[in-house]
Each structure stands twice: as C-alpha cells, then as structure tokens.
Amino acid sequence: MPEPRVLIVEDNEANLHLMQEVLKPLGYEILVASDGEEGVRLARERLPDLIVMDIQLPKMDGLTATRLIKSTPETCRIPVIAVTAHALLRDKENAQKAGCNDYVTKPLNTRLFREKVRGFLQPSPAPAGKTGS
C-alpha cells in the first residue's frame, strides 16, 4: 500500500516548514501549495488522503478553497483540517460551515497536530457486527 498523501496548503514558510518536520517522520507523501487556487488544483489533480488548509491564503482564502473541494464529487470525501490564526469560536464555526472536518490553531501545537493528522489517516476498524464485503 502506498504511503498516505497529505496536501499542505500554507503560505507562511515557517509554519509550512514546521508542519513538514512534524509529518515527514511519519512516512507520508507530502504535497505543498502556497495559495488557495493551487491548493484546489492539487487536490483535484493528486487526490490526497488529507488536506491541511490554512485559512488566510493569497489568491483564494482557505474557506473558499475548502468549499470548492467539498462541492466537487472527486474531492468531497477528502478530510480537511483547517489551520486558523485565532482560537475564536467564530473561526471554528466558519471552518465547520465551509466543510472542514477539524481545525488546529496557530501557533501550532505540534503534538496535537500530529495526533489529528494520524487520526484521519489511520484505517478505522470495521464497525462491530459487520463483516467486510
């Protein structure tokens, strides 16, 4: 099985570097986009298993990019973790409304970030009482 593919959409170089440092040891294939338009394009072309989406991005913000990704049949099932600059309730609600599955805040808590990413990429056990088909 190929390693999971993670798309990071982040325009802040320091934060991008930090995310890569956290995820690389886990063996994931990492794709990078530095603006929202490129993020949507890469999501459609490369179909990652998970997207880490900064909200404040050039050309197209992360909420708009997420809405596009979530309204496209080919990409709508890809989980999106939003990266917000503030821990405000409004930011969380906006991220959820746009279709984000989870969110983390800056400055990045690397341990929490790693756990959330792994949570989305680990195969979930089959529901009890059901056999595979």
Chain residues binding Mn ion by CB under 5 A are 11, 54, 56
83: its two tokens? 């990266």
Give the nearer residue to Mn ion in terms of CB position, either 67 or 106: 106
**Minimum distance of Mn ion from residue 12's CB (angstroms):** 5
**Minimum distance of Mn ion from residue 72's CB (angstroms):** 23
Give the nearer residue to Mn ion in terms of CB position, either 56 or 94: 56
Find how far residue 129's CA is from the centre of its chain.
31
**Minimum distance of Mn ion from residue 107's CB (angstroms):** 13
Q: Point out the residue whose Cβ comes nearest to Mn ion.
A: 56
DSSP state, residue 121: H
CA distance 87 to 30: 26
Give the nearer residue to Mn ion in terms of CB position, either 58 or 119: 58
**Minimum distance of Mn ion from residue 11's CB (angstroms):** 4
Give the nearer residue to Mn ion in terms of CB position, either 38 or 54: 54
88: its two tokens? 């405000």
DSSP 61-108: -HHHHHHHHHTSTTTTTS-EEEEESS--HHHHHHHHHTT-SEEEESSP
DSSP state, residue 3: P
